[in-house]
Structure 1
Amino acid sequence: MDEDHRQRLLDRELYQIEQIRQLDSEELEIEEVEHGHQSSDDDPYDDRAYGSASGSGGYTFNTSLASLHSYLGEVEDTHNRLAFLDGGVILHVPLFYLEGVVLFPEATLPLRVIQPNFIAAVDRALRQAEAPHTIGVVRVYRDGDNGTIRFATTGTTAEIRQYRRLEDGSINVVTRGQQRFRLRRRWIELGGAPCGEIQIIEEDLPLRTPRDAVGQLAPLRNLSAANASHSKLLVRGNQDHDSDASSDDSFESKLSLTERRLHSSALVSSYPHDLLGESTSSDDDRLMCEPELQLENSLQSLHSVKNRSHDDGLKGHEMKRLSDMPFRGAKRRNHSIHRLRECPRAYWPYWAYQMYDSYCLAQRLSDMWKKIVGTPSMDALVRKPGLLSFHVASKIPVSESTRQELLEIDGISYRLRREIELLENFDRIKCRSCQTVIASRSDMLVMSTDGPLGAYVNPSGYVHEIMTLLKASGLALIGIPTEEYSWFPGYAWTIAYCATCEYQMGWLFTSTNKKLKPRSFWGIRSSQVADDMH
């Protein structure tokens, strides 16, 4: 870009900013719309509502308005709710190929269907007997320098929840993601509708830490003999552990002799050596032993004082004071002492299982998500790790290729671990074309109950997934603000380009009412965001 062109873009941006400052109009009449959206009592996603924009800063925008997609006009409810299909089921459904969009189960996808072949696809979905009102959504992307179009092999079925046929023949549709599938083959029907043969993916069950990994074994005093004679422990097996619910079905009974020998060695070495009559091998071991050793020393001191009291004639109140001293803080140590008397029966230590425990990972992801995005309680989703993984994946502000990667991960725990990794590394948002830093994580702003990232469709039928930001840099504005077909009621939009490479990054949304806050924010296309989020 030459200097003259860059200067023209800068002058245009300054002019647009000056126009934004002068924006002022009458108050919005949105009371009826605000009260028209009621959450259902049986909706498992009630806990995911984001409330007002960003949840702080005195913002007044009602975030539920954006999720209604009111720019589509009135749409009629199909009153159809499809039952979930069994994993492995093979279906023939009409397909929608969408560039720049990755649909996840339970996510909302608005469509403005204009092209005749996709209109035929909607008509087929509405009248088909097999999986009625269902379409398959697959991401398409351009690969390589020659721009070859590729089709993803993993997609999501979407149920048509609302639709309206317009006078010009086009159809406005609101769909909701249902289940993941593998695309086996695709074709075009005689009517022009693109169709495909899909196989529903069977979702795995959440992983739990084995009960044997945290089971309680014999007291430490019983293990001292085992430490002295390892062979006796192997012969006796679980005889010392009968009182702790050990049985023939226990983990150890299923191990080979070699595996049992390794496992038993791990059990013995897992106890603090000081309590087994050996020196500690590390400061950590010594620290673990301190609470119980302190209590034992206190008990010994008390015993000696009581014996001495018979000879020295200690007074009653002195005796009471001395009797109370050794037990100060004992209640606080009970838990630690109890944990010292526990040892895993499982082959690996507890922390190793916890790395893949779906519920532990779900809680960790929920805590991170609430810290970054500022959502309310997500306890209902934490109890359903699979749903939580899709919920976060559909809203995490990363590139579309990364989101497609999340969609293709089959294991719940692996998907949760990948999302935690993304949130840990998510720091800056860059332009995909030139790597210019556009914004940082702290600039994120929630402007919809769908979260900081959502899908919206323009009048031409192109679906955009955008992440909303309070601040952005390195962008230039083209054109004048317009309210027509605005995705956020009460805001006018202006096209925003990267000032370095001139690729369209998204839009600047500015309030048309001085009482509406935030006064402005940015919508950045996820398809134009770089994969590197560091």
Structure 2
Amino acid sequence: MEDEVERRQIQQILALDDEELQIEEVEGLADSSDDDHRDTGVPSTDDFTFNTNLTSLHTYLGEVDDARHRYAFWEGGAILNVPLFYLEGVVLFPEATLPLRVIQPNFVAAINRALNQADAPYTMGVVRVYRDSEFGPIRLAKIGTTAEIRQYRWVEDGTINVVTRGQQRFRLRRSWIDSEGAPCGEIQIIEEDVPFRTPRDACAKLVPFSNLSSQQRPSLYASSHGDGNGGNDSEDSSEEIFESELSQTERKIHQSAIGACYEFDKADESTSSDDDNELPKSDNQSGSPCLNDSGFKGSSPSNHKKQIRNAALRIGSKSKARKVAGPRSHLSSTISTAFLPCWVYRMYDSYCLAQKAADMWKQIVGTPSMDGFVKKPDLLSFYIASKIPISEPTRQELLEIDGISYRLRREIDILERLDRVRCKICKTVIARRSDMLVMSSDGPLGAFVNPHGHVHEVMTFHKAKGLALRSRPVKEYSWFPGYAWTVINCATCETLMGWLFTATNDKLKPKSFWGIRSCQVTDELR
């Protein structure tokens, strides 16, 4: 009986889609002009009564059963054969939730294979599909994410409802269709780097910390900005605070690099001051053509690494021309003589970048629970990438970046410059970044699936403009329990932009909000 009711509801929704309704431009409701927008500020939590945990449960899918299996994790470089799931307009990141209503027979076969395969149980690969032009051929992205099936339920009509979660990035080596029609692919798991305090390319092989005596462990500011006796107290204090926040292992790595710098200065203390003054301005000041306060020129990680090496080699080459007082110790011959200022280390310090990104994200979105992410920069980089209100190609770019520090630096750059959200077709301003609203415990952007099996990544805003209503409010199959949804178009070009959600209960707050499809927006970076 319940299945019959559900089928009738879906038929009613389909009838609404086919019904020609007069487009009504939204006026007043949750709308605002540019003057009403502020760069900061989030709706007060006092006026918020909606339980955001309900959204992440995807209750509109009905009852689903837990997979009840031990989730697999593969080492970097591992090669697997898994079923593939192609998604247009969606980029899956590790730790992100992806709900699916699988209707097409080939994808039903793919899910069935994932549930029964022995080598990679309950696992499939999710890749984005796209077109280079409006009428161009469909292409598969080369970088995707494995998705583990956490919950599922077969439906009587042969379809299946599934809730998956992103796990590991992979490179797609090749793809094919198996004998049952299921799309499959050979994938190679990407080996993720480990967040370090000290960039590995800034110095040579580091000696064990135990080999350095206590006299060889001064503040980095003392070794690079003076003789250690009359240094800047505020800088020394800053360095001590920085080191106090490190774990024991991180402190060893950091102080080993400092020891390398100090051993170099100690070897020729009498001439270091004069030689430092002879360095070209472009090598030791923030006005450098290679280095500045915001980082190295260019956005390519390989360029950053080359510039670090070049800066280190220039300093190291000058050390060979200096007069060394007495024979060098075995220690000084085994460690790096090239060093960079502390601000350069912090510029590529994963934890410092994570703190900056978390502070910016909290200021914009108002999410209070970011402290745990700061201790895990890799997870934070994926979290922000999966929730930031940017276009689909830019999010794919973030997925393809190798290196935690490089991904965080790119995200910080986007957060600093991101302002307006525009329609991809006509460039009409739809909202601003300060209008984002968190309506799910997963964040201000999440993936949802409609009754027809189409997956939409939706970003939620408490204010929007330039939109027009296309249909009547519908309560059934709502992604946000207690809210009715209304289809909305861009008022200028009539592109389907998303949905307006209005509360069906007087006690529910906010009274209304907007859900905008991420695949229909374009970035505007200041």
**CA–CA separation in structure 2 for the residues paired with 1:163 and 1:202:** 29
Letter in 2 for 1:204: D
Which residue number corresponds to residue 55 of structure 2?
Answer: 66
* CA-to-aligned-CA distance 1:100-135 (integer Å, 9 cap, x gap): 000000000000000000000011001111110000
Q: Report matched runs for 1:442-521 at 5 Å.
A: 442-521=434-513
**CA–CA separation in structure 1 for the residues paired with 2:28 and 2:378:** 45
Name the SS of the counterpart of 1:481 in structure 2.
Answer: coil
1:220, distance to aligned residue in structure 2 (A): 6.3
Which residue number corresponds to residue 32 of structure 1?
Answer: none
Which residue number corresponds to residue 380 of structure 1?
Answer: 372
Which residue number corresponds to residue 21 of structure 1?
Answer: none
Letter in 2 for 1:154: I
8 Å CA contact 1:215–1:345 kept in 2: the answer is no
1:347 aligns with 2:339: yes
1:89 aligns with 2:62: no
- Decide whether aligned partners of structure 1 residues 170 and 247 sit closer, same or farther in structure 2, where only a CA change above 3 A counts: closer
**CA–CA separation in structure 2 for the residues paired with 1:147 and 1:165:** 35
Name the SS of the counterpart of 1:532 in structure 2.
Answer: strand
Root-mean-square deviation (Å) = 3.4
**CA–CA separation in structure 2 for the residues paired with 1:426 and 1:222:** 43
Letter in 2 for 1:191: E
- Decide whether aligned partners of structure 1 residues 389 and 170 sit closer, same or farther in structure 2, where only a CA change above 3 A counts: same
* CA-to-aligned-CA distance 1:349-404 (integer Å, 9 cap, x gap): 00111111101000000111111111113222111111110111111111111110
Q: Report matched runs for 1:202-213 at 5 Å.
A: 202-209=191-198
Letter in 2 for 1:125: A
- Decide whether aligned partners of structure 1 residues 524 and 262 sit closer, same or farther in structure 2, where only a CA change above 3 A counts: farther
1:477, distance to aligned residue in structure 2 (A): 0.6
Which residue number corresponds to residue 264 of structure 1?
Answer: 272
1:215, distance to aligned residue in structure 2 (A): 3.8
- Decide whether aligned partners of structure 1 residues 116 and 57 sit closer, same or farther in structure 2, where only a CA change above 3 A counts: same
- Decide whether aligned partners of structure 1 residues 102 and 217 sit closer, same or farther in structure 2, where only a CA change above 3 A counts: same
**CA–CA separation in structure 1 for the residues paired with 2:256 and 2:145:** 45
1:140 aligns with 2:132: no
- Decide whether aligned partners of structure 1 residues 55 and 140 sit closer, same or farther in structure 2, where only a CA change above 3 A counts: farther
* CA-to-aligned-CA distance 1:170-224 (integer Å, 9 cap, x gap): 0000000000000000000000110000000000111313798944758967879
Name the SS of the counterpart of 1:104 in structure 2.
Answer: coil
| 2:395 aligns with one of 378, 403, 411 | 403
* CA-to-aligned-CA distance 1:390-443 (integer Å, 9 cap, x gap): 111111111111110000001100000001011111111100111100011221
**CA–CA separation in structure 1 for the residues paired with 2:91 and 2:274:** 46
**CA–CA separation in structure 1 for the residues paired with 2:499 and 2:376:** 35
Which residue number corresponds to residue 429 of structure 1?
Answer: 421
Q: Report matched runs for 1:4-15 at 5 Å.
A: 12-13=24-25
Q: Report matched runs for 1:103-502 at 5 Å.
A: 103-209=92-198, 214-215=219-220, 217=222, 250-251=259-260, 264-265=272-273, 347-502=339-494
Question: Identity, % of aligned pairs?
Answer: 64
**What TM-score do you get using the length of structure 2 for normalisation?**
0.70
- Decide whether aligned partners of structure 1 residues 222 and 213 sit closer, same or farther in structure 2, where only a CA change above 3 A counts: closer
1:526 aligns with 2:518: yes
**CA–CA separation in structure 1 for the residues paired with 2:167 and 2:181:** 25
**CA–CA separation in structure 1 for the residues paired with 2:228 and 2:27:** 82
Letter in 2 for 1:512: T
**CA–CA separation in structure 2 for the residues paired with 1:472 and 1:443:** 8
- Decide whether aligned partners of structure 1 residues 494 and 360 sit closer, same or farther in structure 2, where only a CA change above 3 A counts: same
1:255, distance to aligned residue in structure 2 (A): 7.3
8 Å CA contact 2:423–2:522 kept in 1: the answer is yes
Letter in 1 for 2:107: F
- Decide whether aligned partners of structure 1 residues 506 and 347 sit closer, same or farther in structure 2, where only a CA change above 3 A counts: same
- Decide whether aligned partners of structure 1 residues 195 and 66 sit closer, same or farther in structure 2, where only a CA change above 3 A counts: same
Letter in 2 for 1:389: S
Name the SS of the counterpart of 2:456 in structure 1.
Answer: strand
Letter in 1 for 2:349: D
Letter in 1 for 2:113: R
**CA–CA separation in structure 1 for the residues paired with 2:512 and 2:97:** 25
**CA–CA separation in structure 2 for the residues paired with 1:166 and 1:429:** 38
1:254, distance to aligned residue in structure 2 (A): 8.9
1:484, distance to aligned residue in structure 2 (A): 1.2
Letter in 2 for 1:194: P
8 Å CA contact 1:181–1:198 kept in 2: the answer is yes
Name the SS of the counterpart of 2:24 in structure 1.
Answer: helix
**CA–CA separation in structure 2 for the residues paired with 1:262 and 1:251:** 18
1:531, distance to aligned residue in structure 2 (A): 2.8
Residues paired across the two proteins, number: 400
Gaps of 5+ in 2: 1-19, 31-41, 200-208, 210-216, 231-253, 279-284, 286-335
Gaps of 5+ in 1: 1-7, 19-52, 225-244, 271-280, 282-343
8 Å CA contact 2:482–2:504 kept in 1: the answer is yes
Name the SS of the counterpart of 1:251 in structure 2.
Answer: helix
Letter in 1 for 2:25: E
**CA–CA separation in structure 2 for the residues paired with 1:504 and 1:361:** 37
Larger radius of gyration: 1
8 Å CA contact 2:83–2:124 kept in 1: the answer is yes
- Decide whether aligned partners of structure 1 residues 249 and 489 sit closer, same or farther in structure 2, where only a CA change above 3 A counts: closer
Greater shift, 361-370 or 203-212, is seen at 203-212
**CA–CA separation in structure 2 for the residues paired with 1:85 and 1:102:** 21
- Decide whether aligned partners of structure 1 residues 215 and 57 sit closer, same or farther in structure 2, where only a CA change above 3 A counts: same
8 Å CA contact 1:213–1:348 kept in 2: the answer is no
1:449, distance to aligned residue in structure 2 (A): 0.5
**CA–CA separation in structure 2 for the residues paired with 1:222 and 1:16:** 64
- Decide whether aligned partners of structure 1 residues 123 and 260 sit closer, same or farther in structure 2, where only a CA change above 3 A counts: farther
- Decide whether aligned partners of structure 1 residues 347 and 495 sit closer, same or farther in structure 2, where only a CA change above 3 A counts: same
**CA–CA separation in structure 1 for the residues paired with 2:255 and 2:435:** 54
